[in-house]
Structure 1
């Protein structure tokens, strides 16, 4: 059995041998497990909706434990709290423990979107912009998961 990473998000640090054009260094990838028992695979993101990446065929079988060991694991997309206040040049800030949504750019760099409550809105809901703040890996590693659960249309929270 091959020693391969768990399913999840990763950033490549080296090109994938034999697939250098599809998987160069410095890109976001997802490692998945085939449902039909075909082993693990790697895939690049297809499209981004509401600050989250979606994945599609084609996928590439992952058979190189050596290359897999060069992948940098990344926290899951979703909701977190800030570990510290973030001050902006020119004024403004996001306060410690603010609820943020974590997403990524195509290079696998973390992007934060702060939760905003709209005073003039009619719904009691947080709003997350489609424009975020690129963050360092150091801050990415210190984010604290916020257990905000999804609710499907028609369900009560």
Structure 2
């Protein structure tokens, strides 16, 4: 069975092009076949992926990909600290934005309400993967900014620059 399109962490390299332990967007029906796309930049704490992907060697490679939660807005359903060192406390019902760095490490950003508008911070807190189960995804409609690059969000939720 083929993996779903979405965000993943690699566990095996693809030659010298894709190292193990990095963030990729996996597309299961690319041309000439399933492939991974590396991040090219981050915009509003979300990865923007290269238009050109790297074809996976075979289906067993796809099976080795470690699935990640989708980037986006979440609410904290159970209180937790970011890590064993207890650097940052996340209280119940807190609004957070989940993103990832290039090493596929989860980062939580805590938006602020400024003059009636939600502002996304540029810096976030690294969070251990096992704590992400304490988040619940929010449903937020998405649209594009006029006069900017047009991301292709598509049916799979990943963002590919056009």
Please report the TM-score for the alignment, with normalisation by the length of structure 1: 0.79
Structure 1, unaligned stretches of length 5 or more?
none
Matched with 1:38 is: 32
Matched with 1:106 is: 102
Partner of 1:69: helix, strand, or coil? Answer: helix
The structure-2 alpha-carbon separation of the partners of 1:91 and 1:69, relative to structure 1 and needing over 3 Å to count, comes to closer
Structure 2, unaligned stretches of length 5 or more?
147-162
Partners in 1 of 2:3 and 2:86 — Cα distance?
42
2:118 is the alignment partner of 1:126: yes
The structure-2 alpha-carbon separation of the partners of 1:92 and 1:63, relative to structure 1 and needing over 3 Å to count, comes to closer
- Confirm or deny: 8 A CA contact 1:98 1:115 kept in the other structure: no
Return 96-105 or 143-152, whichever deviates more. Answer: 143-152
Partner of 1:66: helix, strand, or coil? Answer: helix
Task: Count matched residues.
Answer: 144
The structure-2 alpha-carbon separation of the partners of 1:40 and 1:91, relative to structure 1 and needing over 3 Å to count, comes to closer
Matched with 2:75 is: 81
Q: CA deviation at 1:153?
A: 5.7
Partners in 2 of 1:49 and 1:115 — Cα distance?
15
- Confirm or deny: 8 A CA contact 1:117 1:126 kept in the other structure: yes
**Is the radius of gyration larger for structure 1 or structure 2?**
1
In the TM superposition, what whole-angstrom CA distance separates every residue of 1:69-109 from its partner, at most 9, and x where no partner exists? 11110011111111333458899743212111110000001
Q: CA deviation at 1:60?
A: 1.1
Q: CA deviation at 1:128?
A: 1.5
Partner of 2:107: helix, strand, or coil? Answer: strand
Please report the TM-score for the alignment, with normalisation by the length of structure 2: 0.77
Q: CA deviation at 1:127?
A: 1.2
